[in-house]
Structure 1
Amino acid sequence: MIVIDRVCKSKSRTPILREVSFEARPGRVTGFLGPNGAGKTSTLRVLLGLDRAASGTALVNGRPYAGWPRPLTTVGAALDGSGAHRSRSAHAHLRWVATSNGLPRTRVDEVLDLVGLTGDAGKRAGRFSLGMSRRLGLAAALLGDPPILVLDEPVNGLDPAGIRWMRDFLRASAAEGRTVLLSSHLMGELAEIADDVVVIDKGSVVARGTLAEVTGEHSTLEDAFFALTGEMERPWS
């Protein structure tokens, strides 16, 4: 379970997170939605210990992410692409990540097969398309078979078949009892897979609840989003 409680953060004295609070629960997919610059990635970075909050707490199963001795066995996270050095092959990158967390090397081949990269295991990460990089990042997140997944824009760059695969995978992960937290700007896709939705705007959570509760009287999640944030333009279909 993920609990974000009144997290505040500023940059150059400008607030970028204002008492952000929400939960992501086991067995459910929680979608984290907001305009560019709203604070989605900043919140995830605080959760994963990559940035420090000025106040508030971000806990994973009751403790900070940094408090877990083998974090990959608790939280699988994928932010900002694959995280692999351009000159390393997919297999070498995953082998290094597995070794750093005391995981068996046999797990590398298992996750490559799971995300559909077995045939590209020897290819250097710098030659990967955006969609392949997303799959490699997910493979690294899955190495420890964690009960919690935190993914930033997981379907960005995937082709239609890849999007369907990702949708099915995330739903299956939640059905197995995992906590799944993902950010996305693709509201149509989010509406297809999310059980719960958190909407953030200008660093503040403006809505949270089940998909039905957040959508409310609006016909679509997209309509609800623009009503909540006051955005005039609709850059996404």
Structure 2
Amino acid sequence: MLTFDAVCKQRGTHTILSDISFEARPGRVTGFLGPNGAGKSSTLRILLGLDRATSGTALVSGTPYRRLSAPLRTVGSMLDGSGAHRSRVARDHLGWVARSNGIPRRRVAETLELVGLAESARTRVGQFSLGMGQRLGIAAALLGEPGMLVLDEPVNGLDPEGIRWIRGLLRGHANDGGTVLLSSHLMSEVAEIADDLVVIAGGRVVASGPVATVTAGYASLEDAFFGLTGDPKGAGR
């Protein structure tokens, strides 16, 4: 389980996050939604030990990410694309990621096959399309066979076949008892796959719960999103 308990983040006099509290549970896909600048990336960065909260806790199965001995075996993540240097070939990028967490080398080939990049294993990342880069980032997240996945905009740059593939991958992971925390701007994709929703605006949680609960009284998830986040262009209740 991924647990956020009263997470606050101040940067000088500016409040980035205020009392962020929610859970992403096993067997569920949790959609994490909010406008640009709402605090989604800051929340995920704090969870993954890339930033520190001013107060509150963000825990991975009750433990701070920084204290996990081999974090990629517990939680796989993708923020800001593949994270690979453009001069590296895909196989070598995943190779050093595997070594850093004591993951068997065989997982490199297995994971490249899983994400559809087996034929591009020796291709430099700088030659990848945006969609191929996304697949490589997802491969790195899956490398340690983690029970939990944290993905930020995983379908960005994917073609329709790729979007359908990632949808099935994440749904299957949750159906097998895994935890998925998914941040995306594509409402149709979140509506298709999510079991639970967390919506933030202005650094605060404005709604959370099962999809049916959060969207009750709205015609669609998109309408709910605009109504809950206060966008004047959105449809209200």
- By how many angstroms is 1:230 displaced? 1.1
Larger displacement relative to structure 2 (31-40 or 124-133): 124-133
Amino acid at match of 1:103: I
- By how many angstroms is 1:232 displaced? 2.4
Residue pairs, 1:204-223, within 5 angstroms: 204-223=204-223
Residue pairs, 1:123-202, within 5 angstroms: 123-202=123-202
User: Which residue matches 2:19?
Assistant: 19
Q: For 1:170, what is the secondary structure of its paired residue?
A: helix
Amino acid at match of 2:109: D
Amino acid at match of 1:90: A
Q: For 1:99, what is the secondary structure of its paired residue?
A: helix
**CA distance in 2 between partners of 1:177 and 1:233 (Å):** 38
**CA distance in 1 between partners of 2:188 and 2:203 (Å):** 23
Q: For 2:168, what is the secondary structure of its paired residue?
A: helix
Render the CA deviation track for 1:107-127: whole Å, top value 9, x for unaligned: 000000000000111111111
User: Which residue matches 1:98?
Assistant: 98
Render the CA deviation track for 1:161-209: whole Å, top value 9, x for unaligned: 1001111111000001100001001011100000000000010000000
Amino acid at match of 2:86: R
Amino acid at match of 2:41: T
TM-score, reference length from structure 2: 0.97
**CA distance in 2 between partners of 1:232 and 1:153 (Å):** 24
- By how many angstroms is 1:18 displaced? 0.5
**CA distance in 1 between partners of 2:214 and 2:154 (Å):** 22
- By how many angstroms is 1:36 displaced? 0.4
1:74 matched to 2:74 = yes
Residue pairs, 1:20-35, within 5 angstroms: 20-35=20-35
Compute the RMSD of aligned alpha carbons.
0.8
**CA distance in 1 between partners of 2:45 and 2:233 (Å):** 28
Gaps of 5+ in 1: none
**CA distance in 1 between partners of 2:91 and 2:70 (Å):** 21
Render the CA deviation track for 1:29-75: whole Å, top value 9, x for unaligned: 00000000000010000000000000000000011011110001000
Q: For 2:17, what is the secondary structure of its paired residue?
A: strand
**CA distance in 2 between partners of 1:233 and 1:123 (Å):** 44
1:5 matched to 2:37 = no
- By how many angstroms is 1:11 displaced? 1.9
Q: Identity over the aligned pairs, expressed in percent?
A: 67
The runs of at least 4 aligned residues of structure 1 exceeding 4 Å deviation read none
**CA distance in 2 between partners of 1:11 and 1:125 (Å):** 34
Amino acid at match of 1:77: S
Q: For 1:80, what is the secondary structure of its paired residue?
A: coil
Matched length: 234
1:53 matched to 2:53 = yes
**CA distance in 1 between partners of 2:34 and 2:172 (Å):** 25
Amino acid at match of 2:27: G
TM-score, reference length from structure 1: 0.97
Gaps of 5+ in 2: none
- By how many angstroms is 1:92 displaced? 0.4
